């Protein structure tokens, strides 16, 4: 019983520590900026391999497009 509990707890803990998604970055812009700063220090080949960098760039692009849409439409 204790082993099962330990395995479940460990699995949940590891799942929570996964790579941030685009939505995670869009919700937490401080985290987004921190990740983009890390990515900026990486070599281009490392950035391409980094799921976190790819998600951060996509989140940045989406936020920028949403901002432009609001600016042009007033919505």
> What is the per-residue pLDDT for 74?
81
Q: Which helix (H) or strand (E) holds 24?
A: helix 22-27
Residues 19-42 have pLDDT tens digits of 999 999 999 999 999 999 999 999
Question: What's the rounded mean pLDDT across residues 57-69?
Answer: 94
**Gap between the Cα atoms of 39 and 46, Å rounded:** 8
Residue 74 falls in which region: left (phi positive, over 0), alpha (psi -120 to 50) or beta:
left
Domain residue limits, the chain: 19-73
CB-facing half-sphere around the CA of 30: CA atoms within 13 A: 0
Residue 14 has pLDDT above 50, yes or no: no
Query: Contact at 8 Å (CB) between 60 and 47?
Result: no
Q: Is the model more confident about 51 or about 2?
A: 51
């Amino acid at each position: 019983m204790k082993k099962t509990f330990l395995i479940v707890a460990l699995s949940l803990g590891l799942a929570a520590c996964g790579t941030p998604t685009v939505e995670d970055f869009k919700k937490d812009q401080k985290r987004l900026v921190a990740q983009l700063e890390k990515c900026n220090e990486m070599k281009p080949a490392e950035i391409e391999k980094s799921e976190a960098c790819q998600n951060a760039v996509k989140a940045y692009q989406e936020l920028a497009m949403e901002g432009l849409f609001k600016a042009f439409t007033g919505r």
